[in-house]
Amino acid sequence: MARALPPIAALLLLAAAPLLSACGGPAEGALDIAFVDGGATVDNPDPARDLRLTSAASHMRAATETGLVTLNAAGEVVPALADRWIVTEDGLSFIFRLRDGEWPDGSDLTAESVRRRLRSALRRLDGTPLGLDLRSVADVRAMAGRVVEIRLAAPTPYLLHLLAQPELVLVHEGGGTGDMVLEQQGRAAVLVMRPPAARGLPEQADWSDHVRPLLLRPMTIQQALAGFDEGSIDLVLGAGIADWPLANTGPLSRGTVRLDPVLGLFGLHVRHAEGLLATDAGRETVALAVDRAALIEPFGIGGWTPTNRMVAPDLPADPGLVGERWAAVPIAQRQAAAALRIARWSAANGGQAPRLTLALRRAPGLDRLFDTLAAQLATSGIRLERVAADAPDADLMLVDRVARYGAPEWFLHQFDCGVQRAGGLCVSAADALVAQAQAASDTAGRTRLLAEAEQALAQANVFIPFGQPIRWAQVRSSITGFAPNAWGFHPLPPLAEIIR
């Protein structure tokens, strides 16, 4: 029988009391972190309801709750509630051995209790792109007392990376399962480390001397960078191309601006098949007119790679079945061809130049992006106008999204007809090909079907790719536990550790 224990959160907050001011002010000695992704409040969202997470919410959920596995600072999958696992030779079974320990309320950490919570987490993802990523999961079984098996209908090489996502945390009613516990302080939050035993580690008498609290605050990019310059902020997270013009990349910054080499989607999603955008050829005309390399040139970001592909090129398992579109055609020739098409379209539509609207919020980097894009399209005779980011009738919307794992399925699932909540054209035939690929038992068949799905979406021109997304952080040189990675995700627990 599990012995009753006081809630771990209450014990930790009591132990952390000296760190918190009596009036609810910031924690003394804390590492100050500002999140700037849209200015969202820093809170502890309910994992059972909130699936569309901001960067701040994702980081806090991963710190205060955990799943079978998690991500480390380098973006690699590491043990969490499961301390080891094996994959069967056919790739159809992942078997996890749970670590010794208990849930936060003192109840036993058993295979059956994990099975129930994992099934619940999977059900919550129905109707989302992550749910599509996980549809090969056929069953979750409790085997021996601490052994859980996930059975698959077809091999899913990226399953571990999916299980490490914040949406797949295993929520326990008796308290958080993550390495840290959160204390809300208005719009800010203080996170403190749990004792080693609660994190599945050996007991350590002086453990609290080697960790520090984290103070998380939601800020605008201007506030965050001003605080960084004056020394009140140690780390700025959640910044992207919208904020890049404000980054301090000069000689005095001493390398504090760190770019994440992220994978993902960055380009225009067509929302309405009307006017010039009513046909595949019309949408292709817009894609032809975009000079992708010149689009990012005003930002001065070295190493950025443009692409015409929907799926990021050169993924680890990319067999090369899909190449760059128009790779042998110079940009001047492409733009001339687009101008000729526009002239013909205008002549057939009363002589008026086509007018397109782009939903885009106001920000320094997005202002620069829009001005360059509008000038490029204008050279081919297309008039681009900017409307509010939430305008429902906009012809185009900017997609700026970091991938969760490095496989074609993630990219293709973003355009699935069943998960289009913000509007946007889709191709049901491509969705069917992706579903067939996920059900395929052989690698060659799977790869061929995914390539056909990408080609179907490219031919329909529902998305106009620019290249890889841009994510960056401002990091004080003294900080340890931070590492740029392909997912733009920086776990909080390593940042709380003090290197001895």
pLDDT tens digit string along 422-451? 689 999 999 999 999 999 999 999 999 999
Contact of 58 with 489, CB cutoff 8 Å: yes
Q: Is residue 317 domain-shared with residue 422, that is, in the same domain?
A: yes
Least confident of 32-41, 63-72, 151-160, 361-370: 32-41
Q: Is residue 277 domain-shared with residue 421, that is, in the same domain?
A: yes
Q: Is residue 401 domain-shared with residue 304, that is, in the same domain?
A: yes
Residue 9 is predicted with a pLDDT of 37
- Residue 18: pLDDT band with limits 50, 70, 90: very low
Q: What are phi and psi of 147, to 5 degrees?
A: -125, 125
What CA–CA distance (Å, rounded) separates 392 from 389?
9
Provide the 8-state DSSP code for 30: P
What's the number of CA atoms in the CB half-sphere (13 Å) around residue 119?
14
When pLDDT is averaged across residues 402-410 and rounded to a whole number, the result is 96
Q: Is residue 300 domain-shared with residue 445, that is, in the same domain?
A: yes
Residue with tokens 């205060």: 64
pLDDT, tens only, 190-230: 999 999 888 888 888 888 888 999 999 999 999 999 999 99
Domain that holds residue 167: 68-171
Residue 204 is predicted with a pLDDT of 85
- Residue 53: pLDDT band with limits 50, 70, 90: confident
Q: Is residue 372 domain-shared with residue 452, that is, in the same domain?
A: yes
Least confident of 23-27, 58-62, 310-314: 23-27
CA-nearest of 60, 117, 133, 72 to 404 is: 133
Residue 13 is predicted with a pLDDT of 35
Q: Helix or strand or coil: residue 267?
A: strand
More confident residue, 42 or 182: 182
More confident residue, 303 or 492: 492
Which CATH number covers residue 34? Answer: 3.40.190.10
Q: Which residues contact 98 (CB under 8 A, 6 or more apart)?
A: 81, 82, 83, 109, 110, 111, 114, 146, 147, 148
Which CATH number covers residue 158? Answer: 3.90.76.10
Q: Is residue 277 domain-shared with residue 422, that is, in the same domain?
A: yes
CA-nearest of 365, 359, 401 to 384 is: 359
When pLDDT is averaged across residues 110-127 and rounded to a whole number, the result is 94
- Residue 250: pLDDT band with limits 50, 70, 90: low
Which CATH number covers residue 413? Answer: 3.10.105.10
Q: Is residue 342 domain-shared with residue 415, that is, in the same domain?
A: yes
Question: Looking only at Cα atoms, what is the longest distance across the chain?
Answer: 81
What CA–CA distance (Å, rounded) separates 263 from 469?
7
Residue 199 is predicted with a pLDDT of 86
pLDDT, tens only, 22-31: 334 455 689 9
Helix (H) or strand (E) run with residue 247 in it: none
Residue 248 reports pLDDT greater than 70: yes
Burial class for 348, CB neighbours closer than 10 Å (0-12, 13-18, 19+): exposed
Q: Is residue 241 domain-shared with residue 274, that is, in the same domain?
A: no
Residue 188 is predicted with a pLDDT of 85
b/e per residue 373-389 (b: at least 16 CB within 10 A): bbebbeebbbebebbee
Number of domains in the chain: 3
> Over pLDDT 70: what percentage of the chain?
90
Q: What is the pTM of this model?
A: 0.90
Residue 321 is predicted with a pLDDT of 92
Q: Is residue 272 domain-shared with residue 303, that is, in the same domain?
A: yes
Q: Is residue 92 domain-shared with residue 188, that is, in the same domain?
A: no
Residue at which a domain ends, from 121, 141, 171: 171
Taking CA atoms, 247 is separated from 124, 263, 482, in Å, by 38, 21, 18
Residue 50 is predicted with a pLDDT of 39
Bin 175: left if φ > 0, else alpha if -120 < ψ < 50, else beta. Answer: left
Residue 464 reports pLDDT greater than 90: yes
Q: Is residue 187 domain-shared with residue 114, that is, in the same domain?
A: no
pLDDT, tens only, 125-149: 998 999 999 999 999 999 988 999 9
Most confident of 34-43, 95-104, 195-204, 382-391: 382-391
Residue 15 reports pLDDT greater than 70: no
Helix (H) and strand (E) counts for the chain? 14, 18
Least confident of 44-53, 282-291, 330-339, 424-433: 44-53
Q: Is residue 211 domain-shared with residue 331, that is, in the same domain?
A: no
Residue at which a domain ends, from 149, 171, 193: 171
When the pLDDT of each residue in the chain is averaged and rounded to a whole number, the result is 89
Instruction: Give strand pairing partners of 31.
Output: 214
